[in-house]
Structure 1
Amino acid sequence: MRFLVQAAPTATRSLLAFSVSPRRRPGFATTVPHHRRNMTAAPAGPTPQQAKANGDKTEIKILMLHGYTQSGSLFRAKTRALEKLLVKLLAPSALLPTLIYATGPNRLLPSDIPGYQQPPSAGSEGGTLSDEAPPPPPDAWAWWRKDDATGTYRFFDEGMAAVAAAIRDAGGVDAVCGFSQGGAVTGVVAAALETGREAPDGPQGDWVHALREANGERALRFAVSYSGFYAPVERLAFCYEPKIETPTLHYIGSLDTVVDESRSQALVDRCVDPVVIVHPGGHHVPVSKEWAMPFAGFIKQHATLPQPKPGL
């Protein structure tokens, strides 16, 4: 059965998992939970209830992955309001979300950025060339570069190495949240960190082992994707078959003209019990309270579960 539930305006709301209608309206829907074969658990640290009783807060570390042409600092600037709301909404539950922003390793040239116009140099007049140095390249980065001729991802291993380094520097993370290309990376990372998923043999699987080592051989508690999409390349097929069992929350803009809905739906379809939020906007991260509340509820729901057990 497929149905939609409009987002309630109340300050508190339980979050349910759901299935999505092909023609979406803003809101969120639900499905019956599915048994997750990989998500065995072992206690790790105080529960939120114990932390609250002690007057402490349980930190939930979330790695934030920006979109194509962005950077970690730019993504943080765009989601600062969301970060503040999450902290406020989760404070009564003794949870402290800590958002960690990484930057992709592949710097983009102006020619790589759709619609980019090179600003005039400081000494130019009316577009006339000057003897001064040209302006610096834009602060635009990517996790990988798609080769249109072959359909493969160039610099993919470098991108995953940067993600592993960010996880390692953070001392491990509980979750990953990404926007656009970062949303695609989020699905890949969540799958790769699942302890029951077999990594590719040989060098093709080195990036998987590096990610798992960086996170202490632990799966993520959850993953969140804004305008993310399925990455249909052969070397990543193992990430989607079997389906991603890490709990996932997907935000999709009903007016998004950058990432087609079918691409986001393809990622949703490759997750077990995905939660999908449809917002009435385009290709961006909605940061108002109405759209932060489902995120906060999702964090609360999965932060209260035991930590996934390390692989043997």
Structure 2
Amino acid sequence: MSDNNNNNAAAAAPPSTAKPAKNNGKKAAKPAPPPKRDLKILMLHGYTQSGALFKGRTGALNKVLNRALGEMPAATRTTAPPTDNWGWFQHDEGTGAYRGFDNGMQRIAESIREAGGVDGVMGFSQGAAFAAMVASAMEESRTLPADEKLSNWATQLRSANNNKPLKFCIVYSGFVGRDPALQWLYEGGFATPSLHVYGGLDTVVSEDRTRGLWEKCTPTEKGGKAQVLVHPGGHFVPVKKEWTTPIAGWLMEVLKGETLEPAAAEEKA
């Protein structure tokens, strides 16, 4: 009996007379958006060159990108390796194998990890061939070879970038790798949006070789975006405004709608 009385009393209790707090007509503040970070581009120089040299020669492009990106973060560039007269590999004419390939990819993985991850890659000549391989190996849909000896370097790349694929790949005078052990990188084409720039008078990397890579990077069934830009010069990176502006425009289109959230390493800092 007493239990029923208690329940009735609780049910009959009058509503609270406390008045809601006034906000003086102001809307509730929206949570602040996450801080943006710089667009990170991994720079891969050509054979017997250096990261510092390549970065210096593409400085004009960097300025155009920073102006064109507007509200987007500025582009910062990570170079690998930092010393002079490096090659990413040496082609063995007898076997077709690329000597030193794994060491080169290991150095790239280290650079990506040191940068806290990267958004895209840009390379020239041999570095361009490597850039395309890096982008391909990091694609989520790319199946790695069962033999760990053939895929260990790719696993390191993915781990260094927190298993995130690259958003874009820009190659100057690139070409398809000839090593038979690397052909899995080209099977089915590339899903990573790619821009291929080469000189119509290039006698070091022929137009056929460069176009061969471009054709590999046009995976219609995967929806990848590939574009080619031909300048009237030879084997070099064009830095005049008439050639850097289209590159900036292409990159803006590729990154449209992308949000550059802080990388995991930066969030912990």
TM-score range, shorter chain: 0.7 to 0.9
Give the residue type in structure 1 aligned to 2:89: W
Give the residue type in structure 1 aligned to 2:245: M
| Residue number among 203, 206, 215 corresponding to 1:269 in the alignment | 215
Distance 1:307 1:244, change over 3 A: farther
The structure whose Rg is larger is 2
Distance 1:82 1:306, change over 3 A: closer
Match of 2:161 in 1: 215
Is 2:203 the counterpart of 1:203? no
Normalized against structure 1, the TM-score is what?
Answer: 0.67
Is 2:49 the counterpart of 1:97? no
The structural deviation recorded for 1:189 is 0.4
Is 2:104 the counterpart of 1:152? no
Give yes or no for contact 1:104–1:143 (8 Å, CA) kept in 2.
Answer: no
Distance 1:307 1:147, change over 3 A: farther
Match of 1:71 in 2: 50
Give the residue type in structure 1 aligned to 2:61: L
Alpha-carbon separation, structure 1, partners of 2:229 and 2:90: 28
Query: After superposition, what is the alpha-carbon deviation per residue over 1:108-167, rounded to whole angstroms, capped at 9, x for unaligned?
Result: xxxxxxxxxxxxxxxxxxxxxxxxxxxxxxx31101111112111000000000110111
Secondary structure of 2:165's aligned partner: coil
Distance 1:307 1:93, change over 3 A: closer
Bigger relative contact order (CA 8 A; separation at least 6): 1
Give yes or no for contact 2:52–2:82 (8 Å, CA) kept in 1.
Answer: no
Alpha-carbon separation, structure 2, partners of 1:93 and 1:277: 26
Is 2:238 the counterpart of 1:286? yes
The structural deviation recorded for 1:305 is 3.7
Alpha-carbon separation, structure 2, partners of 1:281 and 1:93: 33
Is 2:11 the counterpart of 1:59? no
Larger helix percent: 2
Runs of 4 or more, structure 1, over 6 Å off, are none
| Residue number among 226, 229, 252 corresponding to 2:172 in the alignment | 226
Alpha-carbon separation, structure 1, partners of 2:72 and 2:93: 47
Give yes or no for contact 2:96–2:180 (8 Å, CA) kept in 1.
Answer: no
Match of 1:17 in 2: none
Alpha-carbon separation, structure 1, partners of 2:155 and 2:259: 20
Alpha-carbon separation, structure 1, partners of 2:158 and 2:72: 28
Alpha-carbon separation, structure 2, partners of 1:82 and 1:171: 23
The structural deviation recorded for 1:304 is 2.4
Alpha-carbon separation, structure 2, partners of 1:232 and 1:96: 36
Match of 2:184 in 1: 238
Is 2:137 the counterpart of 1:192? yes
Secondary structure of 2:58's aligned partner: helix
Secondary structure of 2:163's aligned partner: coil
Distance 1:96 1:57, change over 3 A: farther
The structural deviation recorded for 1:200 is 1.1
Alpha-carbon separation, structure 2, partners of 1:248 and 1:199: 21
Is 2:195 the counterpart of 1:249? yes
Distance 1:158 1:250, change over 3 A: same
Q: How many residues align?
A: 221
| Residue number among 240, 253, 263 corresponding to 1:301 in the alignment | 253
Distance 1:305 1:241, change over 3 A: farther
Alpha-carbon separation, structure 2, partners of 1:307 and 1:213: 21
Which consecutive residues of structure 2, in runs of 5 or more, have no partner in the other structure? 1-31, 219-224, 261-269
The structural deviation recorded for 1:58 is 4.8
The structural deviation recorded for 1:302 is 2.2
Alignment of 1:20-99 (within 5 A): 58-90=37-69, 92-99=70-77
Give yes or no for contact 1:61–1:173 (8 Å, CA) kept in 2.
Answer: yes
Alpha-carbon separation, structure 2, partners of 1:263 and 1:286: 19
Alpha-carbon separation, structure 2, partners of 1:283 and 1:93: 34
Secondary structure of 1:64's aligned partner: strand
